Amino acid sequence: MSTPRLDIDLAKIRHNAATLVARLRRPGISVTGVTKACLGDPRLANVLLKAGVGGLGDSRIENIETMGRAGIRAPMTLMRAPMPSQVDRVVAQADTSFNTELSVIRALSQAACKAGRRHAVVLMVELGDLREGVMPDDLDAMVRETLLLPNIDFKGIGTNLACRSGVVPDAQNMGELSRLADGLDSRYGAVISLVSGGNSSNLQWALDGADTGRINDLRLGEAILLGLDPLHRRPITGLHTDAITLVAEAIESKDKPSRPWGAIAQSAFGATPEISDRGPINQTILAIGRQDVDPAGLTPLQDIEILGASSDHLILDTSKCKVSVGSEIGFQLNYSALLRAMTSPFVTKTFVQPDDHRPSTPVLPTRSKPIGNFQQCH
């Protein structure tokens, strides 16, 4: 098979999505399945819909257009505020968009009128993470103006936490979002149908048994794809953490000194390396690099150590697990590594369809054991 590649097990992703949909149904929260990490791939979109998500969300209109061309029929939400230059495309392809600027909503209104369509908007509220959002004190005036715009349906409010600054969703900030929704309903009638509490980082709060208030939607991507709690990168009980594996091929494996020699200046990426002398090692190079993946987000599935990376090479210490040229090495990925690998045109995406095998019981991979056809350590 081609390398480097991502092996994507859709049965495990479907299991993860269906498990979270069922757990969140108890507190009355629906799931918007987030497709941006997989660039709106229709195969992932179909699996999420079959798992019971209420709709699909993406940050880029290009990915929503990809799903539309593939015949995906589901409520589509553009989760990043639209660029003014793209409002015509947003109105044509997305049912709903998240917004923070009145000027953009006015442009959406004009585009919707021109297209003879209606478009729903959700106003994002800033609750401390300092990414996007209307300040709470400015929300009322913005809702009042939005309700007056033709061909625009004000759908509700939302927020985003734990992305830029790591602010944890909790009873206080989620309670504030619910109170804002109650206040808007009391002033303008029952105008709020959606209160989107956040992303995968909200799961700990949503599932701990506390009152979830008005929150009735979460946008889940990372937890479904990786089976991890984004706040602490810990496995979520009952979910697969190995649904996606990165596989790369060895192109060199030699015994070398561990410490470079010669005058040292900056590396290709502007750092001045500080490399300790650990004596001779078995060093292996894989045909993948920073152009394809975030090396800091990789965890080897064998007893090897990542030493560094350039744009096209990943350098490993394979002294404890010697490999031969041409062998495949597997890695788990964090969200940053997954995003970059999915975006790289040089990384093949291989999908295992849900019907290709029976769904298995969730098992956490053991780093010291090779998985699949990876070369045995010796």
**How confident is the model over 21-60, as pLDDT tens digits?**
999 999 999 999 999 999 999 999 999 999 999 999 999 9
Amino acid at residue number 367? R
What's the mean pLDDT when you consider all of the chain? 93
The residue count for the chain: 378
Mind giving me the DSSP string for 140-171?
A: HHHHHHHTTSTTEEEEEEE---SSSS-PPP-H
**Which pLDDT tens digit goes with each residue over 109-161?**
999 999 999 999 999 999 999 999 999 999 999 999 999 999 999 999 999 99
User: Given 3.30.70, 1.10.150, 2.40.30, 2.10.110, which CATH number is that of 244-356?
Assistant: 2.40.30
Question: Residue 59's pLDDT is what?
Answer: 98
- pLDDT at position 14 over 60: yes
Pairing of strands 298-300, 328-333: antiparallel
Beta-ladder partners of 41: none
Q: Averaged over 276-295, what is the pLDDT? A: 96
Choose, from 12, 36, 155, 349, the residue flagged as catalytic: 36
Report phi then psi at 353, rounded to 5.
-70, 150
**What's the rounded Cα separation, in Å, for the pair 319 and 256?**
10
Q: In 10 A of CB 360, how many CB atoms?
A: 12
Band of residue 370 on the pLDDT scale cut at 50, 70, 90: very low
36 catalytic residue (yes or no): yes
Return all residues near 345 (Cβ < 8 A) that are at least 6 apart. none
Higher pLDDT, 367 or 349: 349
Tell me the pTM.
0.92
Domain boundaries, the chain: 10-226, 244-356
Q: Does domain 10-226 have CATH number 3.20.20.10?
A: yes
**Which pLDDT tens digit goes with each residue over 179-213?**
999 999 999 999 999 999 999 999 999 999 989 99
Q: In the block, which residue shows the tokens 């209606």?
A: 118
Return all residues near 109 (Cβ < 8 A) that are at least 6 apart. 119, 149, 150, 151, 152
